[in-house]
Amino acid sequence: MDILNALVLLGNFVLIPALSYGSQLALGALGITLIYGILRFSHFAHGDIMAFGTMVVVLVTWLLQGWGVSLGPLPTALLALPAGIVATALALLFIDRSVYRFYRRVKAQPIVIVMASLGVMFVLNGLVRFIIGPNDQNFADGARFLFTVRDFREATGLDEGLGLRVSQVITIITTLVVVSGLFWFLNRTRAGKSMRAYSDNEDLALLSGINPERVVTITWLIVAVLVTVAGTLYGLDKSFKPFTYFQLLLPMFAAAILGGMGNPVGAVVGAYIIALSEVGVTYAFRKFLQYLLPESWAPDGLVQLLSTDYKFAVSFVLLVVVLLIRPTGLFKGQTL
Amino acid sequence: MKKFLLTTAIAGLTAGAAYADDVNIGIIFGFTGPLESITPTMADAAELAMSEVNASGLFTLGNIVPVRGDDGCIDSGLAVATAERLITSDHIQGIVGADCSGVTGAILQNAARPNGVVMISPSATSPALSTAEDDGLFFRTAPSDARQGQIAADILRDRGVNSIAITYTNNDYGAGLADAIKTAFEAAGGTVTMVASHEDGKADYSAEVAALAAAGGDVLVVAGYVDQGGRGIIRSALDLGAFDTFELTDGMIGQSLLDAMGSELQGSYGQLPGADNPGTQMFQDLAAAAGIDGTSAFAPESYDAAALMLLAMAAAGSTNSADYKDHVMDVANAPGEEIYPGQLAHALEVIAAGGDVDYVGASAVELIGPGESAGNYRELEIQGNEFTTVRFR
């Protein structure tokens, strides 16, 4: 019984939150790694294009809610998702045609394109705030919980409870679907294979008749799907606020670099590691140990490895360690 | 060139002569920066008191002219430069301001004290200002956060809470307040299981909440901002079933919190500056008549700060800071005839007749210790979809 209590406790406070936060990061990190692998630059506007896509979803959700459309226990935002994806894809393609393509043509240094993406970031930043404002926006509806901590406690008779939110379940399932869809696309379809070829060796790909502009377009379309889905899931789980999305940029990049830039598997694994370590390293294990250890061994202190003040240092320490020991990241290089 | 110099000199002289009777009062708030949404109303409220005194025709020391200056709320360099300019080139006789605690301290030490100018701040709440060297020049119509810490501890103990966990937003306001609550609650015999900060505007707060939950406690005290990390913490704590009841500090009281998660917060409580004082309503009526929103944060305190300064000048019979600084406490506190908003003319009559006034004003002004508001608070509880006032403390 005590072991069960300990596991439930850990599940509620560490595993499930880390799993859903990690899933949201994974979708974002995948986009970053794709852009890096194919277009060969670090896309700093990633957090803000995520905010842009989510903003469209929020606006369409409000419209649908105004019409009285609803999905029952599921959030209406899922219905609005396609509209958000289309808008984000158009925005990304427009930005690519008007900004990035020029630098690609003149074969500019990657750092120049990175700076251009920084500029795009500021423009999007302002645009999103101009349209929807800088404040928190709530657009989640439907049922919030699959079961709450209290329901769980009453049903099982355990001392500790485990809550599961609808948004967490949707997040984890959607991430699974999107990620496996992406891997299937990259490994099994012609377009996916041409993307990998282009990423591997640009000149060889050109020689074998692959149209680079087509590859670039497909990449942006995939990125549009990834960021809009990630942003919407995050917004449903917490809330939509442009500034928070901008801040997501750091953990997403940390995840992508940790896993190995340009490596999709690495991005996903890196995201879960970042999320789990942020929550796990700062967790106070006192109660957990109290369940497992005999009473006389039970600790008095909080058994917290690191104060939560240092939460954000965790991902960066991991990053530094990985870069020192394995500069290529956990999974080696561009195996897109 | 000579002619030009001569004419400008003459123009300057005549201009100076024309305004010889003016009493300039500086209003230094953060018209830019984090408080820019409430400072215009605060300044309007202060100017309302000034125009009320001017209109009475009983203020014999001159015509009061407000001079606005910007302190940026978090920009000490700008704040000191503004104060310096207002003191040296506009010759202000007193400062209503500043607004945020940091810039208030900066202006006090670098401009007000060296030049010997009185400051009355309506909104600086840092406990550190209570002990700052001020040469008797600094007053505030806002209470110190040390007082709020005491109030929060009282509310918790009266409700039978024995152990609390505290989370605060990682800045001067949050840290000072968390410290005050911890000290007061422990002095009252309670246990504080953990004091942990949180950063505003972050993506995920489950780590903070997990640590707080592991530490335990009957109630989670949230000293933060309602549209920032404070809300994220509460959302996460509710989702994880870590805490059911929250004690909310003044920064956390806002309708947007209830709109976001209303029913789940039933029975949580908190405190907000405010008094059971007829003056509050009188001020709101007065402000409404002048087209000002009297319910806006710190508007009553701003009106009171300006009114106190003018009454102290009248009582001293001088607009010189060195003369009237000793009269601020006298006009603010008993004994004397109680003065409410809109009765400044009457107060001037009483003073002119040699009587004593006890300025109550819009925020029930009672200055204690180093010249700061004793601090009246409303204890609020979330009932239905609104904050209901339970009692005054």
So what's the pLDDT on residue A13?
87
Closest CA to B119 of B43, B28, B24, B22: B28
Query: For A222-264, what is each residue's pLDDT tens digit?
Result: 999 999 999 999 998 888 888 888 888 888 998 998 888 888 8
The distance from CA A310 to its chain's CA centroid, rounded to whole angstroms, is 21
User: Cβ distance B35 to B73 under 8 Å?
Assistant: yes
Reduced to 3 states (helix: H, G, I; strand: E, B; else coil), residue A333 is coil
User: Cβ distance B96 to B122 under 8 Å?
Assistant: yes
Give the chain A residue whose CA is nearest to the CA of B205. Answer: A279
Give the chain B residue whose CA is nearest to the CA of A278. Answer: B207
- Judge whether B217 is closer than 8 Å to chain A, CB to CB: no
Reduced to 3 states (helix: H, G, I; strand: E, B; else coil), residue B241 is coil
Residues A291 and A296: their CA atoms lie apart, in Å, by 12
Question: Would you tell me the crossing angle of helices B145-158 and B172-187 to the nearest 10 degrees?
Answer: 40
**Least CB-CB distance to A247: which of B201, B211, B235?**
B201
Collect all residues of chain A within an 8 Å Cβ-Cβ radius of residue B240.
12-13, 17, 149, 163
- Quote the ipTM score: 0.74
* Torsion of Cα atoms, B82 then B83 then B84 then B89, to 10°: 80
Indicate whether this model's pTM tops 0.80. no
Q: CA angle, A271 as apex, B216 and A9 as ends, to 5°?
A: 25
- Judge whether A335 is closer than 8 Å to chain B, CB to CB: no
Give the chain A residue whose CA is nearest to the CA of B201. Answer: A244
> Who contacts A242 (Cβ-Cβ below 8 Å, separation ≥6)?
A48, A51, A55, A125, A128, A129, A132, A134
Report whether pLDDT(B8) > 60.
no
Collect all residues of chain B within an 8 Å Cβ-Cβ radius of residue A248.
203
Report whether pLDDT(B51) > 80.
yes
Closest CA to B26 of B61, B68, B59: B68
**Least CB-CB distance to B214: which of A135, A278, A286?**
A286
So what's the pLDDT on residue A218?
94
* Range in A302-316, B6-20, B94-108, B113-127 the model is least confident about: B6-20
Report whether pLDDT(B70) > 90.
yes
Asked if A244's CB is within 8 angstroms of B201's CB, the reply is: yes
Closest CA to A286 of A13, A21, A1, A20: A13
So what's the pLDDT on residue A315?
79
Give the chain B residue whose CA is nearest to the CA of A136. Answer: B227
So what's the pLDDT on residue A114?
93
Q: Which residues in chain A come in under a pLDDT of 50?
A: none
Percent of chain B with pLDDT over 90: 52
Strand partners for B64: B23
Q: What is the mean pLDDT of chain B?
A: 87
The distance from CA B347 to its chain's CA centroid, rounded to whole angstroms, is 23
Q: Which residue did the predictor score with more confidence, B1 or B116?
A: B116
Residues A112 and A119: their CA atoms lie apart, in Å, by 11
Quote the minimal CA–CA distance from B101 to chain A in Å: 24
Query: For B9-49, what is each residue's pLDDT tens digit?
Result: 544 444 444 455 799 999 999 888 777 778 899 999 999 99
So what's the pLDDT on residue A292?
82
Tell me which DSSP letter residue B129 carries: G
Residues A284 and A287: their CA atoms lie apart, in Å, by 8
Residues B31 and B98: their CA atoms lie apart, in Å, by 11
Query: For A134-157, what is each residue's pLDDT tens digit?
Result: 777 888 887 878 888 888 888 888
Residues A335 and B208: their CA atoms lie apart, in Å, by 37
So what's the pLDDT on residue B2?
56
User: Cβ distance A231 to A239 under 8 Å?
Assistant: no
- Judge whether A14 is closer than 8 Å to chain B, CB to CB: yes
User: Cβ distance A114 to A45 under 8 Å?
Assistant: no
Tell me which DSSP letter residue B226 carries: T
Closest CA to A257 of A326, A314, A172: A326
Strand partners for B29: B70
So what's the pLDDT on residue B13?
46
So what's the pLDDT on residue B5?
54
Q: Which domains does chain B have, with CATH numbers?
A: 21-144+278-369 (3.40.50.2300), 146-274+375-392 (3.40.50.2300)
* Torsion of Cα atoms, B214 then B217 then B221 then B224, to 10°: 0
Residue B246: pLDDT band by 50, 70, 90 thresholds?
very high
Residues B355 and A93: their CA atoms lie apart, in Å, by 77
Residues B162 and B152: their CA atoms lie apart, in Å, by 13
Collect all residues of chain A within an 8 Å Cβ-Cβ radius of residue B217.
none
Mean pLDDT along residues B77-81: 94
Asked if A14's CB is within 8 angstroms of B240's CB, the reply is: no
Q: In the block, which residue shows the tokens 């002619």? A: B3
Quote the minimal CA–CA distance from B238 to chain A in Å: 9
**Least CB-CB distance to A304: which of B170, B198, B211?**
B211
> Who contacts A197 (Cβ-Cβ below 8 Å, separation ≥6)?
A204, A205, A208, A210
Look at strands A164-165 and B63-70 and give their pairing. Answer: unpaired
Strand partners for A284: A304
Q: Which residue did the predictor score with more confidence, A299 or B305?
A: B305
Q: Which domains does chain A have, with CATH numbers?
A: 2-325 (1.10.3470)
